[in-house]
Amino acid sequence: MIKNKSWLAIIGSFIFLTGVGLISYDIYSNHKVKEEEKNAIEDFYVIHEEKEVIEEAEIKEEEKKPETKKKVEYIAILKIPKINLERGLVEPNSYLNDVKYNVEILDESSMPDEIGGNVILASHSGTARISYFKNLHKLVIGDSISINYKSKIYNYKVVNIYEIDKTGTAEIIRNKNKSTLTLITCKHNSNKQIVVIAEIQ
């Protein structure tokens, strides 16, 4: 009987320590990913500030700098102050341009510098680490959104918010005479999607 209790105590301790180890590893991994993403956003601003300085000074040749490998390299930064979101966007053809990893630039999307175009972005809602649009439902008409792209800030204002059935496609109702931004996410715990339409200012 005592031997059995000893084995139970050993097995119980092993399970407990394994659980603590897995939780600690998960916390460490999430922290590491967040740090990498934060650094990538900082790199984006530094790179674009350097480009502006070079253009203003009309320097024809830039000294070669040693290249460093980066896991994430952003081409634009999405900012939604109302929900405290600042998120980098990657190249549309990057494997990281997927809702499994990031805010995704959809295939049908234009880029911000296209006149009359429509930037279409999608991301998860919910409680996961990658649920970047989890607070999208808090936006109201008149809220501001910006995209920093190619050293220029494109400012948008929300003009319409509506829900659609989750069918794999989304009907986008917008003024095609204006440059717009469309944000799409699932409505948490439902079979609906939220669509936010913003027009450039």
Domain ranges of the chain: 1-59, 76-200
160 pLDDT higher than 90: yes
85-99: pLDDT as tens digits: 999 999 999 999 999
The side-by-side arrangement of strands in the sheet containing 144-149 is 85-89, 76-80, 144-149, 152-165, 192-200, 180-186, 118-122, 104-105
- Class of 76-200 in CATH: mainly beta
pLDDT value of residue 20: 59
Q: What is the dihedral of CA 37, 41, 47, 53, to 10 degrees?
A: -160
* pLDDT tier for residue 15 given thresholds of 50, 70 and 90: confident
pLDDT value of residue 184: 98
116-140: pLDDT as tens digits: 999 999 999 989 999 999 999 999 9
Q: Say which residues have a Cβ less than 8 Å from residue 119's Cβ, sequence separation at least 6.
A: 105, 109, 110, 111, 112, 147, 180, 181, 182
Residue of higher predicted confidence among 5 and 6: 6
18 pLDDT higher than 50: yes
50 pLDDT higher than 70: no
pTM of the model: 0.73
Q: φ, ψ for residue 70 (rounded to 5)?
A: -125, 135
